[in-house]
Amino acid sequence: MINYISTRNSNISVKASEAVLRGQASDGGLFVPQNLEDLKIDYHRITNCDDFKSMAAAVWNLFLDDYGSGVITELVKKSYEGKFSSEKVTPLVKVNGAYVLELYHGPTSAFKDVALQALPNLLTKARSMNGVTDEIMILTATSGDTGSAALSGFSGVDGTSIVVFYPDGGISETQRLQMVTDAGKNTSACAIRGNFDDAQNGVKKIFREIPRPAEGISLSSANSINIGRLVPQIVYYFSAYRQLLDMGSIKDGDLVDFVVPTGNFGDIMAGFFARCMGLPVRRLVCASNKNDVLTEFINSGHYNRIREFHKTTSPSMDILISSNLERLLYYICGEENTASYMKQLEETGEYQISDAELKAIQDVFSAACATDAEGAAAIKDVFESENYLMDTHTSIAWSCLDKYERKEGVPSVVLSTASPYKFCASVLTALGLEVSDSDRKNMEVCHEYTKAEIPAGLADIWDKEILHNDLINPKEMMSYVVEKSMKSR
Ligand SMILES: *Cc1c(COP(=O)(O)O)cnc(C)c1O
């Protein structure tokens, strides 16, 4: 059985389902499998599977072993069957000079769907396995992508409800409509008269003060530090490898590089696990935008969050504290050093790892960053030369292709994390087209010009009924949650 321990203290040790249920360890650390050796397998066990779902079941069985394989088969089916518009779930496309792994064919057209369609099922099962009778109410503050993906994932899932707070006027029209048209009976999307920080602070306060807002209801979070969000992401690294084999682009055993548009380090951490399991991965390339805290860290060993925060056209990568990096630190530096670095980060805003630790990271990871302008140029170039349209996050990773040491004969796979239609205004600007105030108009213009298909989930939001109209002051968030939890009982 795999032991999940806190990255800061291995005495805190739980089974997989408990790690999913708790989300975060009681000492502030994150749950990780204690020994990487337990994860080492013959990777053919996964790449030889027939389809994405069987690969998912094989990966989940390894990491989430206390669920049992029968349960896992059922949960995988629930999570992915009929939910993704591509039969491959995460299809691989060859674009001149590299490959693009499209992770955005889920219900909200963002890569977070791969994990957030799975987490609710993993969480409700963990609840019954651990004798928890309380219903789970998920509480999230969102500046865009996470909120819609979480709403969609939890929508209609028995034993759960979800409340998402977003800044009024602070998210795109598309993102707002994706949330306020959600038809789940257990979902609420509520605007706050304030900015994202107000929403975030309000949520933190509620977690602190009323973890059980009503009898029989416990609060929980859907954020990316839950191991139940990370495990489902490991699968598509194997799926990419299998697709390269099927395309005849590699021979079995050949090495592959992955270039990952990174924010919270969850996506690329999943790649690290895939590599530890034995998948032939040469380098994992951490791609950042102008917020280059991870580029500096991977190149120098110095993590420093005391720096200017840049708002970019790849907002899901705008980050100063990259939470999942702590999981990598545990494997490289051990629990004591990890605890110490995290304490330094909290107290001083920075830490420096040792030369030996840095070298161990650099044996696997490369890092590069690109500006909005470089990303925009990549969108235009790749569209004009290859007739392939990328979003603003993918294009940052694409721009990093020629900023790391590529090796002759080793294919590079760029992870594509959002549909270009989710960030349509920036994509139009990159293409040199006129942008309107209306997202709907922008999508139409973009479609007319590029002929790229508009995802079904985005094409019809304009005509759907608006079901969530709530608008409150930050001060009212707590009573809002109490009221919703009384109703959901
Ligand atoms: C969340 C997100 C990312 C960053 O992924 P991490 O796992 O946080 O590193 C990149 N692109 C898009 C579109 C996202 O929504």
The 10s digit of each residue's pLDDT in 204-237 is 899 889 999 999 999 988 888 899 999 999 999 9
With a 6 Å cutoff on the Cβ, whether 117 touches ligand 1 is no
Segment 359-372 shows an average pLDDT of 98
Task: Determine if ligand 1 sits within 6 Å of the CB of residue 271.
Answer: no
Probe target for ligand 1 pocket from 226, 264, 289, 427, with the most ligand atoms within 8 Å of CB: 264
CA distance 440 to 319: 28
Could you tell me which residues come within 8 angstroms of residue 376 by beta carbon, excluding any fewer than 6 positions away? 313, 392, 395, 426, 429, 430
Number of H helices, E strands in the chain: 20, 16
Residue 264 Cβ contacting ligand 1 at under 6 Å: yes
> Model confidence over 134-149: pLDDT tens digits?
999 999 998 878 899 9
Q: Which of 14, 53, 81, 42 is nearest to 227 (CA)?
A: 14
Instruction: State the average pLDDT over residues 289-314.
Output: 96
| Ligand 1 within 6 A of CB of 121 | no
Protein residue closest via CA to atom 14 of ligand 1: 316
Model confidence at 200, in pLDDT bands (50, 70, 90)? confident
Find the catalytic residue in 15, 112, 422, 484. Answer: 112
Q: pLDDT (tens digit, 9 = 90+) per residue, 427-453?
A: 999 999 999 999 999 999 999 999 999
% pLDDT > 90, the chain: 91
From the number of C-beta atoms within 10 Å of its C-beta (0-12, 13-18, 19+), residue 465 rates as exposed
Q: Which of 113, 223, 312, 316 has the most ligand 1 atoms within 8 A of CB, as the residue to mutate?
A: 316
Nearest CA to ligand 1 atom 15: 316
Tokens 């979480």 — which residue?
150
For residue 342, how far is its CA from the centre of ligand 1 (angstroms)? 22
The token pair that represents 481 in the structure block: 């949650």
pLDDT at 53: 98
Identify the CA nearest to 427 among candidates 458, 404, 403: 458
Q: For a substitution probing ligand 1, which of 111, 229, 369 has the most ligand atoms within 8 Å of its CB?
A: 111
Pocket test for ligand 1, best of 30, 416, 417 (most atoms within 8 A of CB): 417
For residue 264, the ligand 1 atom closest to its alpha carbon is 8
**Residue 201, pLDDT score:** 87
Ligand 1 centroid – CA 242 distance (Å): 23
- Could you tell me if the CB of 279 is within 6 A of ligand 1? no
Distance (Å) from CA 166 to ligand 1 centroid: 18
Q: Does the CB atom of residue 144 touch ligand 1 within 6 A?
A: no
pLDDT at residue 419, as a whole number: 96
b/e burial code for range 364-377 (CB count within 10 A of at least 16 → b): bbbbbbbbbebbbb
Q: Report which ligand 1 atom has the smallest distance to the Cα of 149.
A: 15
Residue whose pair of structure tokens reads 């909290």 in the numeric block: 346
Q: Is 228 in the pocket of ligand 1 (CB under 6 A)?
A: no
Res. 476: pLDDT tops 90: yes
Class of residue 283 by CB neighbours under 10 A (exposed 0-12, middle 13-18, buried 19+): buried
Query: Contact at 8 Å (CB) between 357 and 332?
Result: yes
Q: Judge contact between 101 and 414, C-beta under 8 A.
A: yes
Ligand 1 midpoint to CA 188 (Å): 23
Instruction: List the structure tokens of 488.
Output: 């959901």
For 80, 96, 281, 435, 446, the CA distances from 453, given in Å and listed in that order, are: 21, 20, 32, 19, 10
Both tokens of 175, joined, read: 């993102």
Is 281 a residue whose pLDDT tops 90? yes
Greater pLDDT, 399 or 320: 399
- In this prediction, residue 226 carries a pLDDT of 93
Q: Give the pLDDT score at 223.
A: 80
| Ligand 1 neighbour 110 (Cβ under 6 A) | yes
Pocket test for ligand 1, best of 317, 327, 365 (most atoms within 8 A of CB): 317
Average pLDDT over the chain, rounded to an integer: 95
pLDDT at position 489 over 80: no
Which residue's alpha carbon is at the smallest distance from atom 2 of ligand 1? 316
CB atoms within 10 A of CB 248: 7
DSSP string, 119-162: HHHHHHHHHHHTT--SEEEEEEE-SSHHHHHHHHHHTT-TTEEE
Q: Is 457 in the pocket of ligand 1 (CB under 6 A)?
A: no
Helices (H), 355-476: 355-362, 372-386, 392-399, 424-431, 439-450, 456-459
Cα torsion 44, 45, 50, 53: sign: negative
- Cβ-based burial of 153 (10 A; exposed 0-12, middle 13-18, buried ≥19): buried
Q: Is 265 in the pocket of ligand 1 (CB under 6 A)?
A: yes
Catalytic: 359? no
- Assess contact for 29 and 339: CB atoms under 8 A: yes
The per-residue pLDDT for range 87-107, each reduced to its tens digit, is 999 999 999 889 999 999 999
232 Cβ closer than 6 Å to some ligand 1 atom: no
Task: Give the tens place of pLDDT for each residue, 31-57.
Answer: 999 999 999 999 999 999 999 999 999
Q: What are phi and psi of 258, to 5 degrees?
A: -120, 130
369 CA to middle of ligand 1, Å? 15
With contact defined as beta carbons under 8 Å apart, do 193 and 235 qualify? no
Ligand 1: centre distance to CA 145 (Å):
9
Q: Is 291 in the pocket of ligand 1 (CB under 6 A)?
A: no
Q: Report in angstroms the alpha-carbon separations of 252 from 22, 94, 210, 420.
A: 39, 18, 53, 32
